[in-house]
Amino acid sequence: MNIDEQVALLMQGTEYGDEELKQAMADELRQRLIEAEKEGRQLKVYCGFDPRTSDLHLGHTVPMRKLGQFQELGHEVTFLVGSFTSLIGDPSDQDILRPRLTQEQVEQNAQTYAEQAYRILDRTKTRIRFNSEWLSELTFEELIGLASNFTIQQFVTRENFRKRWDNGDPLYLHETFYSIMQGFDAHALKADVQVGGTDQLFNIVTAARKIMSSLGDKPNIAIILGILPGTDGEIKMSKSLGNHIPLLSTPEDMYGKIMSVPDKAMGRFMRMVTRWPPAQVAKMEADLEAGALHPRDAKMAIAREIVSVFHGPEVALAAEEAFKKVFQQKDVPDDMPEYLLRPGQNVLDVLAAAGLVTSKSEARRMIEQNGVRLDGKVLSDAGANFPHTGVLQVGKRRFVRVK
């Protein structure tokens, strides 16, 4: 790729909420790439991950995919584990105080994070660092110096902090340290580029660049990525909302969940979680707009690509064939009623609440006759917790999409 093609790829999927800022970051990235090429050096690129859970979903992989693009272009990539920042918990996208994790929880979750990341990143070329290496050694005097770069107003005017302030909810002083600590991470790594989501805009664009400048570094370039929506196509992918696509799900389940995503979200999935370059994405969108490509065919290509990333191309093709057998050959309708799954519901509860049966006795009878299926798989235990979201079928012609 030439420099312009590299910039287009690396800026794909970015969102800054300000076109001038986006253009400024693209211009800085182009110049840094030109300088690195002349000097024969790699850019130092990193993303920090606070391992607050070991149960990862597709949304967690968006910044990993961007790191992978830098890596494929020959740059040095660091997977930074927030072993010290996790002890605070990032307040950037929270309206309440995050619970603090123990060091043991952080280390256990970090191992799972890294193993999942290696499905996207080259294990032999990825540097793993822990920010406790340097943050645990900061003196109080040094922290005062770093904090002097910011005003209280800069923190309390942030949307999530302002909401808590206006509601009279506690806003703890230690939460303001997070941005400072993340800024010091960028300095410690001498980073050229930092990758993060839109919830990290303040931490990267304001805090990290300001701290690096104050310490005599060239400020890093912020690659700010949009947030991947869940299977509802609207809200941020989240396990708590039940709209997530787990990385540890089966290939068939992953494929089916991607196929359940509304058409309007396909562009975001193409840009953020596939390996496709901008030209390929643009062509698919143009073909969709012109009617030359059917939305179902486009979505199947997306599902096949994503499953290939995590399970391999042959497994992805098998998952696609399974999907076709269940949904296309069994005449599953494109449009069907939807039902929002509630916590703690069992199979019987969902069948009755979704209106697929006239009574619970009918539901039990259909289950006993193997007439109840979820994504093509027979559900045989009426009292079991409802397994996951998907297409719930009773008999041959009654369908509900459970979300």
Angle of helix 278-290 relative to helix 266-273, nearest 10 degrees, comes to 170
- Tens-digit pLDDT profile for residues 28-86: 999 999 999 999 999 999 999 877 666 788 998 999 999 999 999 999 999 998 888 87
pLDDT of residue 134: 95
SS (H, E, C) the chain: CCHHHHHHHHHCCECCCCHHHHHHHHHHHHHHHHHHHHHCCCCEEEEEECCCCCCCEHHHHHHHHHHHHHHHCCCEEEEEECCCHHHCCCCCCCCCCCCCCCHHHHHHHHHHHHHHHCCCCCCCCEEEEECHHHHCCCCHHHHHHHHCCCCHHHHHCCHHHHHHHHHCCCCCHHHHHHHHHHHHHHHHHCCCEEEEEHHHHHHHHHHHHHHHHHCCCCCCEEEEECCCECCCCCCECCCCCCCCCECCCCHHHHHHHHHCCCHHHHHHHHHHHCCCCHHHHHHHHHHHHHCCCCHHHHHHHHHHHHHHHHHCHHHHHHHHHHHHHHHHCCCCCCCCCEECCCCCCEHHHHHHHCCCCCCHHHHHHHHHCCCEEECCEECCCCCCECCCCEEEEECCCEEEEEC
List the structure tokens of 123.
Answer: 């294990």
CATH number of 251-328: 1.10.240.10
The pair of three-digit structure tokens given for residue 228, joined into one six-digit string: 């991947």
Under 8 Å between Cβ of 156 and 175:
no
Q: What is the pLDDT of residue 30?
A: 97
The pLDDT value given to residue 178: 86
Angle, nearest 10°, between helix axes 295-311 and 278-290?
Answer: 150
Q: Which CATH number fits domain 338-402: 3.90.180.10, 3.10.290.10, 3.40.720.10, 3.40.190.10?
A: 3.10.290.10
Distance CA 184, CA 136 (A): 12
Average pLDDT, the chain: 88
Please tell me the predicted confidence (pLDDT) of residue 93: 47
CB burial class (10 A; 0-12, 13-18, 19+) of residue 112? Answer: middle
Count of beta carbons in the 10 Å neighbourhood of residue 242: 17
What's domain 3-225's architecture?
3-Layer(aba) Sandwich (3.40)
Query: For each of the chain's 403 residues, which pLDDT tens digit applies?
Result: 899 999 999 999 999 999 999 999 999 999 999 999 999 999 999 999 877 666 788 998 999 999 999 999 999 999 998 888 877 655 554 444 456 667 777 777 777 777 778 888 999 999 989 898 999 999 999 999 999 999 888 888 877 788 888 888 888 888 888 889 999 999 999 999 999 999 889 999 989 999 999 999 999 999 999 989 999 888 889 877 888 898 888 899 899 999 989 999 999 999 999 999 999 999 999 999 998 989 989 999 999 999 999 999 999 999 999 888 777 655 566 678 899 999 889 999 999 999 888 888 888 888 888 889 888 788 989 889 998 888 898 887 788 999 8
* Structural domain boundaries in the chain: 3-225, 251-328, 338-402
